[in-house]
Every structure is written in structure tokens, then in C-alpha cells.
Amino acid sequence: MKKVYILSGAGISQESGIPVFRGEEGLWQNYDIQKVCSLKGWEEDRDYVKRFYDERRVELKNYKPNRAHKIFAKLESEFPNQIYHLTQNVDDLLEHAGCKKIIHLHGTLTHLRCQKCQNIFYIGYRSQKSDEKCSKCDSKDVRHNVVMFGEVAPNYRYLYTLSKECDLFVAIGTSGKVIDIVDLSKEFKKTVLINPNREEYVTIFGSNDRFIDTYFDIFIQKSAVEAADELYELIKEYLLN
């Protein structure tokens, strides 16, 4: 049975209005990345980091899934057990679109994690209480469930283990700066890249630095929403033939 491996990034959720972390209009323009998204920053000022993630969590309830999110849910529904979707996003828009089997590589905003027993529990879109307790062991040593720089991302173990089961790789809405999509693409027989920009990292240049091609078999230079229906047809044709 054919299977498809999808890796999505911030470009998908950005089209629903969620600010990306990097770039000219990214959150890092207003926040010091080392203070709010690193283990060192967390250890130095937990209240400050907690407020940052509380704000992101409360804001999340205002965003809605877009066409790209819905197309992935449609594919999952039509081809059960044939779609593996790993996302770098910490929002829940894929779930709201109807996706059931999503691997969040960097955690989830809507959950907290107990640092004593490692239990992960849902709190929705509210701020973390000052006396918040773990739903399992009652410990107050709980924090946001988002992976920070300086700590291990447990779900990264799926990046290469699941690739062994799939032939088609789709990278969408990701620049490849966080996860090496070029190296990952080497694990697959067929590869697709969807990005509105020609990122230098995934571009092959010839003499005089002139653009030749990408490392991917198919490059669709469109945003996730613009490419959603085209991608649906591409994946559907691949799985049916």
C-alpha cells in the first residue's frame, strides 16, 4: 500500500493569520528568542516565558483553518492509514480542519507538560494558572508543551523512522532552516516542495550563481493555500495509480 509523508511548517498557518516566528514580520522582531524560546531563558525567568506562551495560547482561539488544512483532512479521510503528517507548527488548526493523525514535532500550545511525571494534558486556550497542577500526579511543576532551544524534541524520532514506510515526500510551508528537508528528501523515491519562494538552501545553482533547479522532483512555487487543490490532485493520483 502506497503511503505519503507530509512535512508542514509555519507557511501553512501563516495564511490563517498566525504570525511566523522568523522573518521581517515574525515574532522574533518583538521578542528576544533567547529569552522566550530557550531552555536558558526559561530557567532565568519562568514568569516571563510563561506569559509569552499564555499570550500565544489565548490568541490561538481566534484563528481558523484554511484551504490547505482542510485539504489535508480530506486526504486523510479518503485515504486512511496512507497519510503521515508531521508538522512543525504548535497550533491546532489541522485538528480543527478534521485531521486525526498529526505528529507535532515541536509540541502543542493547547497543552501543558508536567516536568515531574512527563504527563501532557489539555488546557485549551486559557492562560496557565499560577497554581496549575498536573492532571495526573498533582505536581505544580508544569510548563508549556512547546519544545525550546537547548532541549530534545522527542518526536524528531519519527522524522526518519516513518520515512522508511513512504515513497512520496511533500514539504510544504517550510523553508528547511529548522529541519533539513534536503537531507530528508533523500529517503524517498519521489519528492514535492511547495513554497512561494525559491529558498537558497534548497536551490541548486550553476555557473555565475544562476538558478538551475531544486533538490526536489517537483517544485510548486505557490503558497500553501494557492497550491492546496493542485497538491490534492497530485497526491490522489499517486495513491490511486
Catalytic residues, which ones? 106
Alpha carbon distance 105, 90 (integer Å): 8
CA end-to-end span of the chain? 11
Q: Give phi and psi for 195, each to the nearest 5.
A: -160, 135
Q: Are 112 and 123 in contact (CB under 8 A)?
A: yes
Single-letter amino acid, residue 140: K
Alpha carbon distance 191, 132 (integer Å): 44
Alpha carbon distance 28, 230 (integer Å): 32
Strand partners, 146: 107
Alpha carbon distance 93, 98 (integer Å): 9
Q: Is 150 helix (H, G, I), strand (E, B) or coil?
A: coil
| Secondary element (H or E) of residue 228 | helix 224-240
